[in-house]
Amino acid sequence: MGFFSRLEARVRQIDSLLCVGLDPHVAELSSPTVEAAREFCLRLVDATADLAAAYKPNMAFFEVFGADGFRLLEQLIEAIPAGIPVILDAKRGDIASTAQAYARAAFNTLHADAITLSPYLGYDSLAPFLENPARGVFLLCKTSNPGSGDLQDLSILKLPEWRGTAGSHTIYEEVALLAHRWNVADNLGLVVGATHAGALERVRRLAPGLWILAPGVGAQGGNLESALRFGLRSDGMGLLVPVSRALSRSGDPRHAALDLHEEINWQRQMIGEQAAMPSTVAPGLTGDLAELAEALLQTGCVKFGQFTLKSGLLSPIYLDLRMLVSYPRLLDQVARAYTPILRTLSFDRLAALPYAALPIGAAVSLVGGWPMIYPRKEVKAYGTKAEIEGIYAPGERAVVIDDLATTGGSKFEAIDKLVAAGLLVIDVVVLIDRQSGAAQALAQAGYRLHSVFTLGQLLDHWERDHRVPAEQIAAVRQFLEKSAAV
């Protein structure tokens, strides 16, 4: 029986996805001693033994005590009741010969049931841990820490042919694809942080059957409902929710564990019922788009209040996507939101419009590998006196990239310059369509407008999630209706 078959048996037996973290931070102990660490861990085990689908001791907090800490870890794993899997959070990763020694230490000396590993050295560094189907591996895929994107979100052009699509994808998506392929003995899963709902959704789509360990709920700020909604398999299984500090720092760890167990199962039930129920309303934003909609609010790219527009009108909403340049990771998110639309279109070059769309266009160019040009607002009075910057040839097709679409006026000005240079323009792609007539105006002139969001979609989403007061949402809708009437 593979490790995950045994884990599933435990999950079904007690109807729990809770994984209890055993992290004896020295700062949380009654004294900085091994004895205090032992008392700390055994207290959590005693309080949660009937609720824990698994335990996850973090090796670092035992190693800090030296040889005594290693012995404590060995004794702790032995003390955990039989039938409850123990996942050693060690994040190992080394060449094959060293990996063999690490595997013997984890599985033969410490008698852990599973371990967390880094995929950075490739399959041969993992093979010693996967030899025995009864021992499991959780492979670091998209980790919960803020800096995870430094490497894990980087785009790569290598793409397995069986996926059937062209373009780039991220390193963590490649890890998910490889894990899906390498899981031949039912003993390989993934670590995907609950702090990254969009990544959870993408990983679940790429590896539909794998178990996911989703740290980050609680002290790190991960949302439990989102983690379950995007990380659960269709059978309501496949996700472990590890929690440490939220239990250990509570006055009553058992009460806190009971509350969390009940919340997890209630959310599972609601998600299952919603999936089985025919929808009578338009679906809300999910995954990457939901995450992006939230980020636009949090960073102030979308503001609610009273604002005087260029036209002189008073608006209850203001969209300022020029702020994206101050948030590089958000700018990358925005660029990735454009790419699914662009991959459905036929074009030779991106044509980003000054000024707000220039950084967006550059980010999209980097993500998708498409060359970019841009029409200048003012013709250069010196040098080449260029009206369009970048390399292009007459007869090529350009897709216009902008941040917003309102009436379409600025799009026509740019398109005129591109067409005058001999370029063919059919499509315009924006992040947000304000639904103020741009789509209709462009269509009448023979152009097609595509948007990542409509403003109506965003309003519906923020209203559904109670992120913006209902009266402010109503004021914007009323403003849009009046603008459309004019």
Residues shown for the chain: 486
Write out the two tokens for 156: 């790569």
Q: What is the 3-state secondary structure (H, E, C) of 425-478?
A: EEEEEEEEECCCCHHHHHHHCCCEEEEEEEHHHHHHHHHHCCCCCHHHHHHHHH
Which residues make beta-bridge pairs with 449? 428
Q: Which residues contact 48 (CB under 8 A, 6 or more apart)?
A: 18, 20, 247, 253, 254, 257
Phi-psi bin for 347: left (phi > 0), alpha (psi -120 to 50), beta?
beta
Catalytic residue list contains 411: no
Report the alpha-carbon distance of residue 206 to residue 381 in Å, rounded. 52
- DSSP code string of 51-118: T-SEEEEBTHHHHTTTHHHHHHHHHHHHHSPTTS-BEEEEEE---HHHHHHHHIIIIIIS--SEEEE-
Which residues make beta-bridge pairs with 454? 433
**Residue 439 near residue 484 (C-beta atoms within 8 A):** no
Report the alpha-carbon distance of residue 353 to residue 339 in Å, rounded. 17
Q: CA 433, 434, 435 angle in degrees (round to 5)? A: 90
Alpha carbon of 460 to those of 19, 270, 279, 465, 477: distances in Å?
Answer: 35, 21, 15, 9, 10
Selection from 381, 486, 400, 389 nearest residue 449 by Cα: 400
- Which H/E stretch holds residue 400? strand 397-405
Q: Considering 91, 158, 411, 417, which one is annotated as catalytic?
A: 91
Report the alpha-carbon distance of residue 482 to residue 474 in Å, rounded. 12
3-class secondary-structure state, position 388: strand
On the question of a cis peptide bond just before residue 447, with omega within 30 degrees of 0, the verdict is no
21, burial (CB in 10 Å: exposed 0-12, middle 13-18, buried 19+)? buried
- DSSP code string of 99-165: HHHHHIIIIIIS--SEEEE--TT-GGGTHHHHSSTTSEEEEEEE-SSGGGHHHHT-EE----GGG--
Q: How far is CA 34 from the centre of its chain?
A: 38
Which residues are tagged catalytic? 91
